[in-house]
Structure 1
Amino acid sequence: MKSSKSARHADILAQITEQPSLRVADLAERMGVSTETIRRDLDELTRRRLINRTYGGAVRAPGAEPAIGQRHGLFVAERERIARTASARVTPGALLMIGSGATTTHVARRIAAEHKGLTVLTHSFAVATVLAINPTITVIMAPGAYLASEGATVGALTTRFFNEFSADLAIVGASGLTEEGATDALLEPAAVYGAIASRAATTMVVADRSKFDQMFPARYATWRELGVLVTDAPPSGALAAALERRQVEVALA
């Protein structure tokens, strides 16, 4: 059965986060379309700087990540499991800081359904929107320049805002996780995540297994600065060793 262009693009982006390269012939067979259709799909995604074309296929563009709207449609089941586990760690009456991202939005939605009497500081409009269903949660928005691709505020005003507070718990996502720490594809949001992580008693990273061993340009925190990783699969290799060495708790969803 043939798929729509938007569905194909979402499928391609999901696959390319899990494997280093994709082949035109394999994608065409999987999606039930011609190789010419797949080539046009890959050309369009390359123009949008989400992938890099190669002879016969594509690889993920270095430092590239789909926009927030596209990421919301990827790894939904995994993110929902992560959200349940993360929400269970929120204590009554806590002051939280929540960064932007698809996974953090899932966590915020679960928090809104399960908790009362919290105060949440965020720069993400999606996080603020899903929390708004719960009238007992006070949401305070950070000022700053609006970054449309993330649906969030960024810049000096945003980081200064977070630096004025101290939180019980910070919840942040990541584009990639390596033995060096948590990284992000975009420099300005990464600066905000770093400010958030530095102002909390405990910082929790919420990220699915596709982020393991992925390196992006901006490292916003080392494992020394991060307390908990909530994920859907156990890390391995150098990443697992770094987490153990820095005594980062890994909570499996």
Structure 2
Amino acid sequence: MRREKRERQGKILTALSSAPSLRVAELAQKLNVSTETIRRDLDELTQAGVLNRTYGGAVRAMNTEPGSAFQGRSLPAHQKLAKATVEQIADARILLIGSGITAVHVALEIAARLRDIMVVTHSFSVAAALGSNTTIKVMMIPGFYHAGEASTTGGHAIVFLQSLYADYVILGPSGLTKDGPNDALPEIAAINTAMLARASKSILIADQGKFNQLFATRFANWQQVNMLVTDGQPPDELHQSMAQHRVQLILA
């Protein structure tokens, strides 16, 4: 049992090296344990000084150097999805990008491969990942700071988005069902919905572990989605719903 716990906590720290924050519900599903087990793990890791607990999850310890999230070990699946996504947006001039682990990997890939574009985001981690490319203009969406996501949320953010236009919006949902994409945090879901309304084309990025996963808030239906970039064939019911609404499937 001790060995299993050490391995599980090691996986949590590895994930934290590639993301600004972690959510209890998502970790529990990925590691196939209860949310209570994850909370105990996070409490122990907090006591060890390697992370800080937040409501619903955890963030890197405050003494972590800025930018270290991008110097740690990357998750191969997220890198693969990010590369496949950036291949679809070569003609972009203005991008909207959401928050989360996958969004950060997309931002890193954009910084490496694109230039002379504008990216609008509510994620501080996405903005930091883009910072290495000085040809990219980054616009931060105002709002209330959400520590767990290192992002802005709330009414100010939504009102600000109403005046914008983008060629593409890129979002990483918590889960995907036949009814559409969803997110574990209603605050983030509200921003995702507002972003979707301001872009000509919408791209969702999700690994196959998110298929048929249902979280608190659905932020769109499949009719609002143009493309899904993923690493596996969706289950039949989900695939049929996507096909019915002509969602393009990109397998990384």
How far does residue 86 in structure 1 lie from its aligned partner after superposition?
0.4
Q: Which whole-Å CA distance do the structure 2 matches of 1:239 and 1:216 have between them?
A: 16
TM-score (norm 1): 0.77
Answer with 1 or 2: which has the greater Rg.
1
SS of the aligned residue for 1:202 comes to: strand
Name the residue aligned to 1:95: 94
Name the residue aligned to 2:10: 7
Q: Which whole-Å CA distance do the structure 2 matches of 1:4 and 1:81 have between them?
A: 24
Structure 2 gaps, min length 5: 16-23, 45-54, 62-68
- Give the 3 Å change call, closer, same or farther, for CA 156–236 of structure 1 in structure 2: same
Q: Which whole-Å CA distance do the structure 1 matches of 2:9 and 2:188 have between them?
A: 26
SS of the aligned residue for 1:192 comes to: helix
Structure 1 gaps, min length 5: 24-39, 49-63
- The count of aligned residue pairs is 221
Establish whether residue 44 from structure 1 lines up as the match of residue 40 from structure 2.
yes
Establish whether residue 229 from structure 1 lines up as the match of residue 228 from structure 2.
yes
Structure 1 runs (4+) deviating above 4 angstroms are 8-16, 40-43, 45-48, 64-75
Q: Which whole-Å CA distance do the structure 2 matches of 1:94 and 1:115 have between them?
A: 10
Name the residue aligned to 1:176: 175
Q: Which whole-Å CA distance do the structure 2 matches of 1:177 and 1:5 have between them?
A: 25
Answer whether contact 2:27 2:38 (CA < 8 A) is retained: no
Name the residue aligned to 2:21: none
Name the residue aligned to 1:157: 156
Instruction: Give me the identity figure in percent.
Output: 33
SS of the aligned residue for 1:233 comes to: coil
1:165-220, Cα deviation, whole Å (9 max, x unpaired): 11100000100000000100001111000000111100000111111100011111
- Which deviates more from structure 2 when the two are superposed, residues 195-204 or residues 8-17? 8-17
How far does residue 92 in structure 1 lie from its aligned partner after superposition?
4.0
TM-score (norm 2): 0.78
Answer whether contact 1:100 1:173 (CA < 8 A) is retained: yes
- Give the 3 Å change call, closer, same or farther, for CA 106–180 of structure 1 in structure 2: same
